[in-house]
Structure formats: structure tokens, C-alpha cells
Structure 1
Amino acid sequence: MLIENYRPGVVKKLGIDYETLKKTNPNIIYTSISGYGQSGPYINRRVYDPLIQATAGSAAAQNSEKPEFFKTIVFDKVTGLTAAQAISTALVQRERTGKGQYLPISMLDSALYYIWPDVMWSKTLLGDGVKYLPDLFDAFPIFKTKTRYLSVILLQDADFQKFCELCNSDLHTNEKYLTTDARVENLESLLEDVQDLLTDIDAEFLCDELDKAGVPVAIVNSLDEIHEDPQVIQQESLVEVEHPVAGKMRIPKPPFNFIDQNEFPKSHAPSLGMHNREVLEDLGVDEADILRMGEREKTNKELIDAMTLADAGNQSRK
């Protein structure tokens, strides 16, 4: 299995492209990850996550007045997950058929596939006479209460009725809001009326009562509050580890576990080359060769550091 994320065409120049390698190893699973794909007018562009957010339309979807980026490098991560899923599928196929696979994966395609069901749902039906609905997340605003910000989902009639009753309101009897379709039709005024109900209500009280009633609700945590959330604490979703350079760190644990393991090792991400010896030993490389490689790596690092300093000096003189 091989994964590369050079610009399109580079691996062919290096002689390690799929067509070349499969002559030696026909059942290789070869994954090429790129920004815009292996062909087309954008293939030679340098690519960063915000550029994919711009091209894929997700930036335009965040704000109707001025495009905004997600405040996370989302499509770098989504593309990695896409690659992991594709490789897992190819491994199963190879187990069954003995055949290898070439997997070209682009950030743009991964982004479009990821955002389409919710961001682009109003652009999916292309026939005549289609009634366009509001953007999905327009129906899921964050409300400001007396004490905290709150997210509450009021799609179902029963949830909306219970919400209104807990807020001592008869808003659910208003003809404009009697059904889900009616509430969508009058979404702008609905959200204004709901916000008015919440202005003088404590978020903690309402969240508890809505939760008891089975209405979907959550208090909006600040970044400083996430690690104190009782659910995060109970699940041990965040763990503290000691890093040899950075010191004490708080990091998320992997979101999955194998049932026959008590827990994942609580460790930081490895530094470059940290596990070289373990990998080489697993491959059966003898001790003398490992030591020789280590010396060569040290020499290479010294050369790279020297070249970097020289380049920095040249730049400063310009």
C-alpha cells in the first residue's frame, strides 16, 4: 500500500507512479491525494484548505451577507477520512479478489460530497416548479438566553409545543406555527418570536426541563468550558498527557476503541522519526543497519539545517 500527495505529475517524474509500480506489484493499493484532482484547469495550483472551502461553496454557505470560512481546517481532515475509507474498501476488495487498486482522491471532491446533503439541499432538485426551502441551518440558530447561549431543535410539532409550554407561551397555537411546514414558511418571524421568549429565561433551567421532556437541546460551551462538561468528563473524551518538549497537554482521545482493549494508550502524537527503530525492528532490519541509518539520518539533518541557515542568510542580504 502506498499513499502520496504530491502535485499531479510529480510521482511520474520520480518513476514511482501507479502504472510503473504495478508492473512490479500488481496488487498494490496506490492512493493519490491532491487538492483539485489529477486533471483539469486547477491541477497545478497550490492548495490550502481555505481555498477548497472557497471553491466548494462552503464559505458562501456560512453567511448570506459575506462569505466566511469554517473556523477549522475541515477539508484537510475530511479528505484524510475519505482516503481511509477508500483504502479500507480497497483492502477488503483485494482480500476477496487479489486485485490491487488505484485511488485518486481530491480535496474538492471530498468537500462537495461532505457538504452536499445539508449545505446544498436546496440546489439538488433541478426540475421545473421545485419549491426551494431555506438553508438547513437557518432553521437551527443559536439563541441568547438570560444566562447562556442555547441550541434547541424545534422541528417536530410535539417538541415545539412542549418548548412553548415550558416558556409559558401559547406560540404553538399561532396559525403561522401550527405545523412544521408552516414554521418553515414563516421561519424568520418564528425565530424572532422564539428569541423573545428566551430573553429572560435561565439557560440552565430551560435546558434541564427540555431535556426531561425529550426535546433536543444543548447549552453552547465556550472553548474554556468544554473540558468541564459533565459528559466530556464521564466519557474521558479529553485526556492529559506529558509531552517531552511542550510539557503537559490536554488532547482528545481517539473517538473509537476496540472492545477487547481497556483503553487506547494515552500518548501524544509522535515526532518525526520517533518510532523509526521500532518500525525497522518489526521489518527485521538488523542492529548494524539500524545504527548506520541513524548516523546517516543525523548527517542528513545537519546538512538540511546548514542549508536552511545559508538560505536564510541569503534572503536577509537581498
Structure 2
Amino acid sequence: MEYTNGSALSGLKVLDMGRVLAGPACTALLADLGADVIKLETPGVGDDSRINLPKQNGQSTYFVNFNRSKKGITLNLKKGKDIFLRLIKEVDVLVENFRPGVMKKLGFDYETLREINPGLIYAAVSGFGQTGPYSQRAGFDPVAQALSGMMSITGYPDRPPVRCGSSVADVMAGMNATIGILAALQHRHATGRGQFIDASLVEAAIVGMASVNQVYLTTGVVPQRQGNGYTACAPGGCYHAIGGEVALLAMGEVAWEKLCNIIGRPELLQRPEFANNDERVKNKPELDRLIDEATSTIPIDDLVERLLAAKMPVSPIYNIAQVAADPHLADDRHVFTEVDHPTIGKVKITNQPFKMSETNPHVRGPSPSLGQHNNAVYRALGYSDKEIEDFAANGTI
């Protein structure tokens, strides 16, 4: 399959008021898909993530990653209300991840803005959603992982709860907002009307755990931490081998028989406590011990090769350096890409997670410096060079 870089969202104008991760991740995806994204930041300060580690040549590559392909402007929302409202008339989508109520206090809530632009699609990403008793709480990824129950099932039974090592709730919430925006665009195409999209980190995390939630919803049994195992089937998890560790899964009776033969333990097939999936899940600790005992005697490359030959799901457990060097991921699937930043130089960043045959998403440029596109954007709104100079002088932009 050939994947041709293109612009599926060409002509779409997006105002990005997001900060740090969830909002910017959403708009970075829209920008890579070809939307014209304008990132709005506070004059002299900018997005909080501009100071985040890691850094290259003194600049945050965290910021570069989530703000590539965008233009950048600055605007004091209190001083520049008229400018903001003129900008709203020109855009199709607004994305923000302030605490619920902040935009209303500024006079820029959805009900107000849709009077100015009835076709506006307004996406708000927050920790807990726009409604309900928790809506005013400060929300960020670890809190979302805690309240969603994600931490409660992550880690080992004899150890405290563990946060997933990356900000998965932030990223999933940003992608959920993107899905909502694309659906709203289709609705607007049919009706001419925009709409409000309410996405939250907590709900993103909860939906990400749907298969685990179902255990409780069906049986009333509260899922517990079980290391690298599964609630639905066994065996499955992470096991030692000579030279490393592997993650494998033997789902169903055919796969269970294959695994026993591959690891040299066919006698396990005759044990009544492993006779079917229900019994294997019930007796998982002993099952895992016996499998690990067997795999620990096999070189990791040999074990992986045998399991792959049997068409079984298996992988060595990679660190990030191994992921970045893997030829399938790095070369064939292009999971990482490079952006040429004017002050930092070449920066390697993580790419988008899907391919499109005709309009493949791709990085269109570096992240903007603070206020880099003020002149071009405000001039396009009809302001004169003298007016723009005055805005800069009085701290409006």
C-alpha cells in the first residue's frame, strides 16, 4: 500500500487555546491532517509546556512535539476581546482545555460565541467534564488515572497502585476530542450548525478500561492488580527468558496446547486445574510460575521465533531505545518523524498513529516561537501594521 502525504482537512481553520498536552495533542493531529491551526498563547508567557523537559539547545522538545505544524499568535484575552471575537468569526473550530467556567468568565463561552459564528465547533477538554460536582476540580493525568480506577488495576497484588508510565488519559482525551470534532464537521456539513464537544480525561481513562470494567459490571467482582496478567483469559502476561523478557498470550485451547508443546511442558495439558480457560484463570499464579520456570531456560530470540512460527502473539519487552531502532516501527511504519526547528535544529518526534492512502497525515513544520505569526494573522483579520504595533506596545498581543 502506498501512502501519499496530503491534506484531508485542507481549508479547515482551527483556533488552538490548549495548554500542555490534551488540547495541543488534539490540534497537532488536526494540523498534521492539513488544518490551518493557530495556537493562541498569553503574551510574554506562552504555553506552560514551553519550559517542560526534555530540552534541546535550551528549548523544550516536549512543546515542539505537541505543537508542530501550527502557527503561533499571542493575545491578552482581557485587553483584546474585540480582536478575539473578530478571530472567532473566521475559524471553524476552537479547542481549549481550561478549567470549566474560565471561558464563561471571560465572556467567551460557547453560547456567546455561537451567536457570532453559528457554525463554530467548540471542543472543551477538561479533567472531569463540564458538568457535575467534580467539574471544578483541577484535573491532570495522574488524577484521572486514579479516579478512573486505572491505577487500582495497575501493578502487582502485593504492591501499591501504579500510574501508567505515560500520560495516556491526556492523549486519549485529546484523540476523543478530535473524533468529536470530525463528527461535528460532518453534522455541520449536513445542517450548517456547529456544536459543543465536552471531552474529559477521566472518562477517556474509564473507556480505555472497558474490558476490565466489564468484569465488575457483569459479575460484581472488583478487579484487582494482577501484574501483567489478564482478567479474561490465561495464560497471558510477561515471562522471563534467557537474555530478556517476553509478553505472550495463549487465548483458547488450541493456543494453550501450542504453548505447552513449544515450552516443553506438554504434561500441563493433562492437569485438571488447567483443563479450560475458567480453571486456568482461577489458578493463574501457579500457571504463571510453571510457564515462567519453563521459558526461563530458553534463549529469548529462540522463544520468540518458535511462538511466531506457531502464529502466536508474542513480543520481546522493548525499552524506548529498542522501539526507536526497530526496523518495522522506525523504517516501515514511520512511527517517529523529524521536524527542522529554526533555533533547535532537527528534532525527532513521535508521529501520528495511522496512515491514509490519499491524504496521509504528516508534519508540516516546526512549533512556532511565541507570537511568531502575530503580524500575518492579525493583518489577515484586517488590522493595519500601525494597529498591530500599538497592540504589541500596550501588551494586547
- What's the TM-score bracket when you normalise by the shorter of the two chains? 0.7 to 0.9
Q: Does the CA-based 8 Å contact 1:227-1:238 persist in structure 2?
A: yes
1:138 counterpart = 2:233: no
Distance 2:170 2:222 in 1: 31
Q: Does the CA-based 8 Å contact 1:257-1:264 persist in structure 2?
A: no
**CA offset at residue 257 of structure 1?**
3.6
| 1:67-82 pair list within 5 angstroms | 67-82=161-176
Distance 2:360 2:137 in 1: 46
> Secondary structure at the residue paired with 1:142?
strand
2:319 aligns to what? 222
1:199 aligns to what? 296
Q: How many residues align?
A: 295
1:148 counterpart = 2:241: no
1:15 to 82, 89, 107: 107
1:256 counterpart = 2:354: yes
1:177 to 260, 274, 278: 274
1:123 to 198, 202, 216: 216
Q: Does the CA-based 8 Å contact 1:122-1:134 persist in structure 2?
A: no
Distance 1:132 1:106 in 2: 24
Distance 1:242 1:26 in 2: 38
The amino acid of 1:125's aligned partner reads T
Which deviations, in whole Å up to 9, do the C-alpha atoms of 1:62-83 show, x marking residues without a partner? Answer: 0333111111111111111111
| 1:21-170 pair list within 5 angstroms | 21-63=113-155, 64=157, 65-115=159-209, 117-125=210-218, 138-139=229-230, 140-170=236-266
Which structure has greater helix proportion? 1
Structure 1 unaligned blocks of 5 or more:
305-318
Structure 2 unaligned blocks of 5 or more:
1-92, 231-235
1:289 counterpart = 2:384: yes
Which deviations, in whole Å up to 9, do the C-alpha atoms of 1:75-126 show, x marking residues without a partner? Answer: 11111111111111111111112232122222222222222x1332221126
Instruction: Evaluate the alpha carbon distance shift between residue 12 and residue 258 of structure 1 in structure 2; reply closer, same or farther with a 3 A threshold.
Output: same
Distance 1:243 1:192 in 2: 50
Q: Does the CA-based 8 Å contact 2:269-2:275 persist in structure 1?
A: yes
Which of the two has higher C-alpha Rg?
A: 1
Which deviations, in whole Å up to 9, do the C-alpha atoms of 1:112-166 show, x marking residues without a partner? Answer: 2222x1332221126xxx6788778523321111111101111122222122212
> Secondary structure at the residue paired with 2:118?
coil
> Secondary structure at the residue paired with 1:120?
helix
Instruction: Evaluate the alpha carbon distance shift between residue 237 and residue 30 of structure 1 in structure 2; reply closer, same or farther with a 3 A threshold.
Output: closer
1:235 counterpart = 2:333: yes
Which deviations, in whole Å up to 9, do the C-alpha atoms of 1:190-223 show, x marking residues without a partner? Answer: 1111000011111101111211110111111122
Q: Does the CA-based 8 Å contact 1:28-1:100 persist in structure 2?
A: yes
Instruction: Evaluate the alpha carbon distance shift between residue 90 and residue 240 of structure 1 in structure 2; reply closer, same or farther with a 3 A threshold.
Output: closer
Q: Does the CA-based 8 Å contact 1:121-1:135 persist in structure 2?
A: no
> Secondary structure at the residue paired with 1:43?
coil
Q: Does the CA-based 8 Å contact 2:152-2:225 persist in structure 1?
A: no
The amino acid of 1:138's aligned partner reads G
The amino acid of 1:189's aligned partner reads E
Q: Does the CA-based 8 Å contact 1:156-1:180 persist in structure 2?
A: yes
Structure with the bigger RCO (C-alpha within 8 Å, sep 6+) is 2
1:316 aligns to what? none
Distance 1:98 1:166 in 2: 60
The amino acid of 2:175's aligned partner reads L
> Secondary structure at the residue paired with 1:37?
coil
Q: Does the CA-based 8 Å contact 2:341-2:367 persist in structure 1?
A: no
Distance 1:93 1:237 in 2: 32
Instruction: Evaluate the alpha carbon distance shift between residue 131 and residue 8 of structure 1 in structure 2; reply closer, same or farther with a 3 A threshold.
Output: closer
2:285 to 167, 188, 201: 188
> Secondary structure at the residue paired with 1:71?
coil
Instruction: Evaluate the alpha carbon distance shift between residue 249 and residue 45 of structure 1 in structure 2; reply closer, same or farther with a 3 A threshold.
Output: same
> Secondary structure at the residue paired with 1:109?
helix
RMSD over aligned Cα atoms: 3.0
Q: Does the CA-based 8 Å contact 1:60-1:67 persist in structure 2?
A: yes
How many percent of aligned residue pairs carry the same amino acid? Answer: 29
